[in-house]
Amino acid sequence: QVQLVESGGGLAQAGGSLRLSCAASGRTFSIYDMAWFRQAPGKEREFVGSIRWIGGSTYYADSVKGRFTISRDNAKNTVYLQMARLKPEDTAVYFCAASRSYTGSVSSQYGFWGQGTQVTVSS
- The pLDDT tens digits of the residues spanning 55-87 come to 889 999 999 999 999 999 888 889 999 999 999
- Of 25 and 118, which is predicted with more confidence? 118
Contact residues for 122 (Cβ-Cβ < 8 A; gap 6+): 11, 12, 13, 14, 88
Q: 1 pLDDT band (50/70/90 cuts)?
A: confident
CA 69 to chain centroid, in Å, comes to 10
Is residue 97's pLDDT more than 70? yes
For residue 75, the model assigns a pLDDT of: 85
Cα dihedral value 88, 45, 33, 73, nearest 10? 30
Q: How confident is the model at residue 111 (pLDDT cuts 50, 70, 90)?
A: very high
At 10 the pLDDT is 97
Q: Please report the pLDDT score of residue 30 as a whole number.
A: 54
Q: Is 107 exposed, middle or buried (0-12, 13-18, 19+ CB in 10 A)?
A: middle
> 10-52 pLDDT, tens per residue?
999 999 999 999 999 887 755 679 999 999 999 999 999 999 9
